[in-house]
Amino acid sequence: MPIDLSPIDKAKFVAAKRAAQFVESGMKVGLGTGSTAAWLVKCLGEMVREEGLRIKGVPTSTRTSILAREVGIDVITLDEAKWLDLTIDGADEFDPQLNLIKGGGGAHLQEKIVATASDQMIVITDASKSVETLGAFPLPIEVIPFGWQTTKSIVEEALIGMDVLGRDVTLRMNGDAPFVTDEGNHILDLHLKRIGNPRQLSFVVNQIPGVVENGLFLDVCDAVVIGYGDGRVEVRDIHEGTITEDKFDFLGDDNIFGDIAD
């Protein structure tokens, strides 16, 4: 392992490595987006190349699709797959019920479609994403470019009646221009600080014309794999109510510690 890998990156790597153990030959697997998911894609690529793992991967973004092909994973579209055995993805926050905020990387629309079309969703993360109540991380909502300023005003108005602590809404930027998603849309980030009623918020926001999808993943995640910088891994399974622990050493993994296209 390169010595310059930060504890956070080590944590993300071991979470990904542990989650890769849930993947079996013959599976159709949803591949998440972000720096943690990139580790997963690299781990699976190594298993394909060196252990003969046979999987079909459905990427949740162009970035992930490029990386998956690079590491040797057989990539198909969701329409080709129709239904998936398992999706493994990162998250920006998770609460004790394993409800999530996603979309920090701007891919939550495709991520939600893919996760919803899966028998199981496993989140891989470091411990910093654990919260008691969702909302410290700004909630992303994907909006179509047409009339986005009007959509923003209606979202702001809707927030007045919501159980939240902050109500600032900002357009996500990429340098001087609005950020554009894979679907050609923009992202509004809702700085809510605390979301008292995620179900109500998700429902209300998604009713607003121009809003395509919000980044709340409620009752979608089945298990969270939490990695730590010292190689420890914790798996929390929502259905079985179990917490299991493992420890990984980093020896022998040097070949997958190249730069990650993310």
- Give the one residue of 30, 57, 105, 198 binding ligand 5RP; rule: CB under 6 A: 105
Retrieve residue 74's tokens.
């057989």
If one asks whether residue 89 binds ligand 5RP (CB under 6 A), the answer comes out as: yes
Q: Shortest gap between Cβ of 53 and ligand 5RP (angstroms)?
A: 22
Looking at the Cβ atoms of 154 and 179, the one nearer to ligand 5RP is 179
- Give the one residue of 29, 33, 112, 121 binding ligand 5RP; rule: CB under 6 A: 33
Q: Which stretch binds ligand 5RP (CB under 6 A): 34-42, 78-86, 153-161, 167-175?
A: 34-42
Mind telling me the catalytic residues? 111
Retrieve residue 113's tokens.
């479609």
Q: Which sign, positive or negative, has the C-alpha torsion 39, 82, 221, 25?
A: negative
For residues 223-262, which are near ligand 5RP according to CB under 6 A? none
Angle separating helix axes 35-51 and 7-20, nearest 10 degrees: 50
Looking at the Cβ atoms of 150 and 170, the one nearer to ligand 5RP is 170
Q: Shortest gap between Cβ of 159 and ligand 5RP (angstroms)?
A: 21
Q: Shortest gap between Cβ of 25 and ligand 5RP (angstroms)?
A: 25
Q: Which stretch binds ligand 5RP (CB under 6 A): 88-96, 144-152, 186-194, 229-237?
A: 88-96
If one asks whether residue 45 binds ligand 5RP (CB under 6 A), the answer comes out as: no
- Give the one residue of 30, 104, 138, 210 binding ligand 5RP; rule: CB under 6 A: 104
- Give the one residue of 45, 57, 59, 106 binding ligand 5RP; rule: CB under 6 A: 106
Measure the CA–CA gap between 234 and 224, rounded to whole angstroms: 8
If one asks whether residue 185 binds ligand 5RP (CB under 6 A), the answer comes out as: no
Q: Shortest gap between Cβ of 108 and ligand 5RP (angstroms)?
A: 5
If one asks whether residue 91 binds ligand 5RP (CB under 6 A), the answer comes out as: yes
Binding residues for ligand 5RP, rule: CB under 6 A, are 32-37, 89-92, 102-108, 111
